[in-house]
């Protein structure tokens, strides 16, 4: 009987341990998302499970994959996703709905606020782009709904618009917002036909005439009127004072003379 009880206890204990092992977040070292909240995650090291939280407004994305350490903007991380939600209460500051994040400007479609730890910095999208709250990034105006039309496109929501006193560039409105276009080489934008044409056919944009260089006779000067140009002569170099010096006399050649012995 005792052996049977011991075996039963061991069997139940093994089953419970196996279930606990399957439920544990720390079966291996690493970072793991929280099962309920986007802005929390688990850090496992040496079998120890530690609950971590992202900076206010950011969500867990992966190890060193986020904007700030392991966390990123909600849209870029895809959370909340309808199943998981934000667990922290958002902390608002001036222009910021949370301490971290990107938020639409209050009056401009091209501008947005970048919030880092509660401090907002002003940013503007590149020309012809608008800020999209859905993407938390700049996008084409046709993809951004509910934004006011640009003053340039108040009369034409879609189509070309000439720029006064400019021949090469023009506006093209798309969904109430302008984009800057340029005609190809040797072409100019015709404000009447609203298209690029040869510059010679666009009034006020004709290329300047090319004329040959005038001849001497047309200037009233003949060949005899041309005065020679005097080229200043280079003064001669000073004579070398040693150039006229006589060479030093060579020393006499010494020969071996025999004494005169006379004639017998």
Same domain, 115 and 82: no
CB atoms within 10 A of CB 138: 17
The reply to whether 259 falls in a domain is no
Same domain, 28 and 70: yes
The reply to whether 32 falls in a domain is yes
pLDDT for position 261: 54
Distance CA 134, CA 136 (A): 6
Residue 255 has pLDDT above 70, yes or no: no
Distance CA 40, CA 85 (A): 10
Bridge partners of 122?
Answer: 113
CB-CB contact of 57 with 72 (8 Å): no
> Containing domain of residue 194, as a range?
149-207
Same domain, 68 and 106: no
The reply to whether 187 falls in a domain is yes
The reply to whether 58 falls in a domain is yes
Residue 21 has pLDDT above 60, yes or no: no
Same domain, 141 and 153: no
Same domain, 128 and 99: yes
Burial of 227 (0-12, 13-18, 19+ CB in 10 A): exposed
Using alpha carbons, select from 69, 46, 47, 50 the residue that is nearest to residue 59: 69
The reply to whether 65 falls in a domain is yes
The reply to whether 183 falls in a domain is yes
Decide: helix, strand or coil at residue 67.
coil
Number of domains comprising the chain: 3
Look at residues 45, 73, 88 and tell me which one is the last residue of a structural domain.
88
Q: Read off the pLDDT of residues 202-219 as tens digits, 9 standing for 90 and up.
A: 999 998 877 766 665 555
The reply to whether 264 falls in a domain is no
For residue 120, what is the domain's CATH number? 2.170.140.10
Same domain, 44 and 65: yes
Which H or E run contains 49?
strand 48-53
| pLDDT confidence band for 200 (50 / 70 / 90) | very high
Region 6-16: mean pLDDT is 39
Look at residues 63, 88, 113 and tell me which one is the last residue of a structural domain.
88
Residue 3 has pLDDT above 50, yes or no: no
The reply to whether 231 falls in a domain is no
* The residue to which tokens 């939280």 are assigned: 53
Which H or E run contains 75?
helix 74-77
């Amino acid at each position: 009987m005792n052996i049977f009880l011991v075996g039963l206890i061991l069997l139940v204990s093994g089953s419970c341990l196996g279930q606990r092992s399957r439920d544990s977040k720390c079966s291996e070292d690493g970072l793991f998302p929280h099962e309920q909240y986007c802005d929390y995650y688990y850090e496992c090291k040496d079998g120890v499970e530690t609950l971590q939280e992202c900076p206010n407004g950011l969500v867990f994305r992966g190890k060193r994959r986020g904007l700030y350490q392991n966390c990123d903007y909600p849209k870029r991380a895809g959370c909340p996703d309808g199943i998981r939600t934000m667990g922290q209460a958002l902390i608002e500051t001036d222009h910021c709905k949370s301490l971290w994040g990107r938020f639409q400007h209050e009056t401009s479609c091209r501008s947005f606020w970048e919030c880092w730890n509660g401090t907002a910095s002003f940013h503007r999208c590149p020309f012809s782009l608008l800020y999209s709250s859905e993407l938390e990034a700049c996008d084409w105006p046709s993809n951004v709904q509910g934004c006011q039309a640009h003053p340039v496109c108040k009369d034409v929501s879609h189509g070309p618009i000439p720029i006064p006193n400019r021949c090469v560039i023009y506006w093209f409105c798309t969904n109430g917002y302008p984009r800057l276009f340029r005609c190809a080489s040797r072409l100019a934008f015709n404000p009447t036909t609203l298209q690029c044409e040869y510059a010679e056919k666009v009034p006020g944009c004709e290329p300047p005439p090319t004329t040959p260089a005038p001849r001497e006779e047309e200037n009233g000067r003949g060949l005899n009127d041309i005065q020679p140009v005097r080229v200043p002569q280079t003064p001669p170099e000073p004579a070398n004072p040693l150039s006229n010096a006589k060479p030093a006399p060579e020393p006499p050649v010494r020969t071996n003379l025999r004494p005169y012995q006379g004639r017998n």
